[in-house]
Amino acid sequence: MRLDWPEFELDCDASGYLTFTWRRYGRVRTHARHCTHLRLLPQGSDGLSRWVFQLRFPEGPTPGLLVVRVDVPADRQEEAEQYGDLLRRRYGIPEQAPDAEEEAGLQRVPLDTDEWMAAPASTASEELFAAVTARVDGDTG
């Protein structure tokens, strides 16, 4: 299956390899099993939506993460949605990558551990931590 726009092409062949091609700039090729996240973000003030592919490469001597972002013009949004839905169904790609740390919630690093560069934290840092924690706790999204 192929998505072909001026200057950009996304192809997923029968073997499950995804090939992102920016005709003027380059190409990224990987198997769909490496895609751990695929999401189409809503239109921004510039009129473009953002297609975000998160690709993880856990195997090998140098594991890594590659995030591919494709700007989607308004007139191509429906096409991108359909293509993304097809990829998600065919290869079991979640819309949002599961994040075990997010599920566990925020945890404070104890002051007496090596993770602290400076301790104790300043009053301003403590206030910021409290404000961020309150905001996260109140976030329903």
The per-residue pLDDT for range 31-58, each reduced to its tens digit, is 999 999 999 998 888 888 999 999 998 7
What gap in Å lies between CA 63 and CA 103, rounded to an integer?
Answer: 23
Q: What is the mean pLDDT of the chain?
A: 83
Cβ contacts of residue 81 below 8 Å, gap of 6+? 40
The per-residue pLDDT for range 87-126, each reduced to its tens digit, is 999 999 887 655 544 455 566 666 666 666 666 677 887 8
Q: Which residues of 52-82 are buried (b: 16+ CB within 10 A; e: fewer)?
A: ebbbbeeeeeeeeeeebebebeeebbeebee
pTM score of the predicted model: 0.65
- Residue 77, φ and ψ in degrees, nearest 5: -60, -45
Domains of the chain, with CATH numbers? 2-91 (2.30.29), 101-138 (no CATH)
Maximum pairwise Cα distance, the chain:
58
